[in-house]
Amino acid sequence: MIEFPRPSWKPDIVPSIAWTVGRLQKYLQNKQFTVFENGSCVVWPGSERLIEQEAVGRLNAVVTHHPDFKVRRHSDGNFLVTFRGGVGGVMSGDILRDNLSVLRKDAFGKGLLPSEIIEVDSHEKANDMDFIAGLYVRARLYIDVDSPVVVSVA
């Protein structure tokens, strides 16, 4: 196993894989991708199918560098979180709203990497929900890196 700093958070309030794949199909608009057991996905470049080893390599590339993320809210209330290299995941807006206090506590208490500081762009309105969604998807990504099990190829 590769050694790198990791959050201690292992979210246990999670959507089904079927829900995750369905949202990714909608948000990624006909792009093909590989989904791992904890909801992380790797988008295939162009029409080229990635073999499992390549998809796992892309997950590893995120966590062995700077695992910064970008959060996009969708009109249905869910969040698409993306990392470098075509890696990402989704956060259910319903799960976030229904469990906000617990997820906020877990995200900011266990979701940060050691000595990590979150920077907020002063030109944008910061919103805890975006940070929580990003930290949630990132925490699940780290679980997939530790145990990369492919559950869907779409």
Smallest CA-to-CA distance from 131 within 7, 4, 35, 24 is with 7
Residues 62 and 83 sit within 8 Å (Cβ to Cβ): yes
pLDDT tens-digit profile of 45-71?
A: 887 788 999 999 999 999 998 888 999
**Coil vs helix vs strand at 87:** strand
Which residue reads 């996905």 in tokens? Answer: 41
Q: What is the pLDDT of residue 120?
A: 57
pLDDT tens-digit profile of 108-126?
A: 899 998 877 766 555 454 5
Of 150 and 66, which is predicted with more confidence? 150
Mean pLDDT of all residues in 133-151: 96
Of 15 and 126, which is predicted with more confidence? 15
The rounded Cα 123 to chain-centroid distance in angstroms is 24
Smallest CA-to-CA distance from 104 within 70, 80, 132, 125 is with 132
**Coil vs helix vs strand at 150:** strand
Of 67 and 15, which is predicted with more confidence? 15
Report CA Rg, the chain.
Answer: 15
